[in-house]
Chain A
Amino acid sequence: MVKYASISETRCAGSNPGRMERYSLLSLVRHARRYHENWQRAWRDPAPKKAYDIVIVGGGGHGLATAYYLAKVHGVTDVAVVEKGWLGGGNTGRNTTIVRSNYLRDESSHLYEFSLKLWEGLSQELNFNVMFSPRGVLYLGHNLHDMREIERRVNANRLNGIDAELLSTADVQKLVPLMSCSPNARYPVLGASLQRRGGIARHDAVAWGFARAADAQGVDILQRTEVTGVRCDNGAVAGVETSRGFIGARKVACVTAGNSGVLAAMAGLKLPIESRPLQALVSEPLKPCLDVVVQSSGVHCYVSQADKGDLVIGAGTDSYNGYGQRGSFSVIEHTLQAICELFPAFSRVRMNRHWGGIVDICPDACPIIGETPVRGLYFNCGWGTGGFKATPGSGYVFAETLAYERPHPLAAPFSLDRFATGALVDEHGAAGVAH
């Protein structure tokens, strides 16, 4: 049985040193009277110090969350987050923002459920509106096998204390009137699972909220600072070479998603990871027409409507390794065929933008969290196609792993050595990972 800190403990530990100006209705009114001219900048732009206790490589959601929880829960503030571009410019800003916890295996469902619970209080915790909207996540079944897998997963979720419901075709049609549930469809909708507590959030706000809150605790956020090498000394890490000079560190924590293999190679390591482009696209804004997240592995698409009205559509990964942050047109075509099959009304909607993120996929579609053969070098990677939902939970467990130099109980099953012991946590497909 996994035991972990309750959510209330995570909220009250540490205190706000008061450097951060709190956002509130009152502060809005106060600033409005001064023509909004003197808002405090959300985070500082410090020069790098010579050395830090912990250097976190990668200023995406996971890295910033790690820094925040290190400072807030464990009081470790001698921390730098090193980012080669801008905050949240990697996969944090290149996903479809779906948050859910309905995974199949005990290990992963505990981890994602812990994260979902953090999401529920995150805007208050960070004093930053991350626009978490628990509107429900629907996962469709199109044949008997799909339905059996869905029933199995719903049962597994409920045994793990995660909300899950099984819906019939009529229930689905009632929930999503726009969806074509005709029995004559090539891939008819036979039913679905629904996690009502799942939903979407605002991706940028997650990075900014964690950055602002971490900065307020004294964490240095170094943007436009690219790591070019990892310096090791007698099998222990000594620091990182960057485009702004050498930065010493007692521990280096790599949270670099698709580029984890590149970072690992700098330290002379190889990881069981392959990096592939995963793309998504958004449409022009529409009036509200879809108020749940719809996923289907059978026809392979997922779609939700963001608060500003655009449809956010996810596609599959490219089949081959790649670091170019773009995807294939054949994948877009396939995805939009599926969307039009499910939502004939969307066939005339125009698409505005599409983008690709480089996802780091492990053989078992589960993350790697923890130490490496190089002393003091830690990795938190391999989140693959589903890392966004894990952002707060990933940061929380990784922070504890770094602070105490032993894995957080929820992170323990996801150590690097599972690829030698064979204790893989197989979540490919089984957990409704429509990529």
Chain B
Amino acid sequence: MFRIRCPYCRELRSEEEFSYAGEAHIPRPEDPSSLSDAEWGEYLHTRTNPRGPHREMWVHTAGCRRYFNVLRDTLSYEILAVYLVGEMPPEREEAR
């Protein structure tokens, strides 16, 4: 169990209010028809799945229902940073 600070509601709320929405920063290819099967398969299915800091998307389902990004350690479940869609995660020191 952990709590997430929603960047829109600006409140620290229980994990149960949120829904996980997968790995962040996987842009949809601009011209899918120009990709090979392998490239398209990689876009659809391949994930970094790290043991450690992971950049992922969450949505505040029971709150403002908006999407945002989280940098979370998948081993300790510590939340290292919360940042908006379109932004890149801050440097680790800043996040602390």
Contact = CB atoms under 8 A, between A and B. Distances in A.
A184 B45 CA distance: 43
A419 B54 contact: no
A328 B15 CA distance: 9
A420 B38 contact: yes
Interface residues of B, number: 26
Interface string A205-236: 00000000000000000000000000000000
Given A319-B19, A419-B41, 14 more contacts: A261-B47, A272-B41, A273-B49, A274-B47, A275-B51, A321-B23, A322-B75, A323-B51, A324-B74, A330-B15, A330-B16, A362-B45, A420-B38, A420-B40
Contact of B47 (A259, A270, A329): A270
Interface string B52-96: 001010000000000000001011110000000000000000000
B15 A261 contact: no
A40 interface: no
Contacts of A324: 74-77
A363 interface: yes
A156 interface: no
Q: Is the interface of A mostly helix, strand, loop or mixed?
A: loop
7 contacts: A261-B47, A271-B47, A272-B45, A322-B74, A330-B15, A419-B41, A420-B41
Contacts, number: 72
Interface in B12-51: 15-16, 19-20, 23, 37-38, 40-42, 44-51
Interface residues of A, number: 25
Given A363-B45, A421-B37, A322 B77 contact: yes
Nearest to A262: B51
Contacts of B40: 420
A404 interface: no
